[in-house]
Amino acid sequence: MKLRRWIATGAVAIATVGALNTLPASAGHPYNPADQSLRNLGLRHDLYIGTAVDMAALNDAADPRYRELVASQFSTVTAENVMKWESLEPTRGTYNWGPADELIAFAKQNNQRVRGHVLVWQNQLPGWLTTGVNDGSISTEQLREILRNHITNVVTHFKGKIWQWDVVNEAVSDPWDNPPALHYKGFWAQHLGPDYIADAFRWARAADPKALLFYNDYNIEAFGSGDPANDKTQFVYNMAKDLLAQRVPIDGVGSQGHLGTQYGNYDTLQVAAALKKFAGLGLATAFTEVDVRSQMTEAVQNGDSNEINPRLQASAANYSVLLQACLADRHCLSFTVWGFTDKYSWVPNWFGNEGLANIYDENYQPKRAYNLMKADLIYTGPPYVLPRIPQKPRR
Ligand code: XIL
């Protein structure tokens, strides 16, 4: 049992660590009023503040600032790529654990928890797997067995070191897909049918009884996006409810939080309402991949402040919406950004002419988004501090 006593003035948390004592717990570090880092301010709420980590950047001796900031600002880390299947098993039967183990060691050294990302996803699969399925040399039965083995091997390898696993990622289609009616999409649903989802959670649980098992997806920040029949958040909610009814060991839903300032997005109350509905099922929640990108018009690229400022402000406001909603719901356990500096963002590579998505600029200057996150963590203070409710792994 975790025992917490809150002293209202100064919000000092006195915590003893129990249930998760195999994990480095930043709860073991008391809140330090002199430390204004995001991770320390998160301690006032028991909220873990995380980032995706790019291992090449972490190991770049010419860029020590990256490593320093990962260590000093964040209390949880996620591998941006090195725990994906193509990285872990590039050749069939030969696992490359090195980079992922390095991240785990880094996290331990810096008293950080680790989100495992990702066990089952249709992207970044190894070529041997997709080729084998396409040319018929891997049968459906063998594919199911390969998936079971993969989950078992990976979860067993990292057993006791992962706080939250993204067990299944991005399994649900979007209203703009074909057919437009929401459905289970991608490689795994096509080849194994949607039951692979329940199987994946059961296999993961069998290999690690203590990790929290998450379903993770984008565009599920709020209910009510357009046509109710095509509401992706509702679809994921129904899925989670069904899984629970079948006694599938799912512990949480991760909302990625990839937003763009060109879209309508949401306000805090809508997002908080969605978190609350998931919590109502008995699930934890987390923001797992937050970034808020903008279109890089010619004027933006030429440094025109008329176009840059509104983007930076809108980006900051959207970070704040998600963070405030998370702070307001005691089952929201962590808030992870998908990289913290524009220097290494996936956005320009992936979305073409978009950028400015992160909380530090390319030169590691904190942007308005960083300062607003910090303000949210500070001003959501006593007497309104809401300590998190720890989630117990479901059997
Ligand atoms: C992205 C990485 O950031 C890129 O470096 C990589 O090339 C592609 O994948 N949703 C997810 C993440 O769950 O794994 C993706 O990460 C971003 C979208």
The predicted pLDDT at position 383 comes to: 61
Residue 54 Cα: closest atom of ligand 1:
5
pLDDT confidence tier of residue 14, bands split at 50, 70 and 90: very low
Ligand 1, CB cutoff 6 Å, lining residues: 80-81, 169, 256, 289, 346
Q: Do the beta carbons of residue 314 and residue 281 sit within 8 Å?
A: no
- Residue among 54, 88, 123, 168 to mutate when testing ligand 1 (max atoms within 8 A of CB): 123
The predicted pLDDT at position 8 comes to: 29
d(CA 254, CA 325): 14
Whether 221 is catalytic: no
pTM: 0.93
Residues 211-235 as b or e (16 or more Cβ within 10 Å = b):
bbbbbbbbbbbbbebeeeebbbbbb
Q: What average pLDDT is seen over the chain?
A: 92
50-100 confidence digits (pLDDT tens): 999 999 999 999 999 999 999 999 999 999 999 999 999 999 999 999 999
The predicted pLDDT at position 21 comes to: 28
Whether 307 is catalytic: no
The predicted pLDDT at position 24 comes to: 35
- Residue among 51, 53, 78, 81 to mutate when testing ligand 1 (max atoms within 8 A of CB): 81
Q: What is the DSSP string of 98-135?
A: HHHHHHHHHHHHTT-EEEEEEEE-SSS--HHHHHHHHT
Ligand 1 centroid–CA 116 distance in Å is: 13
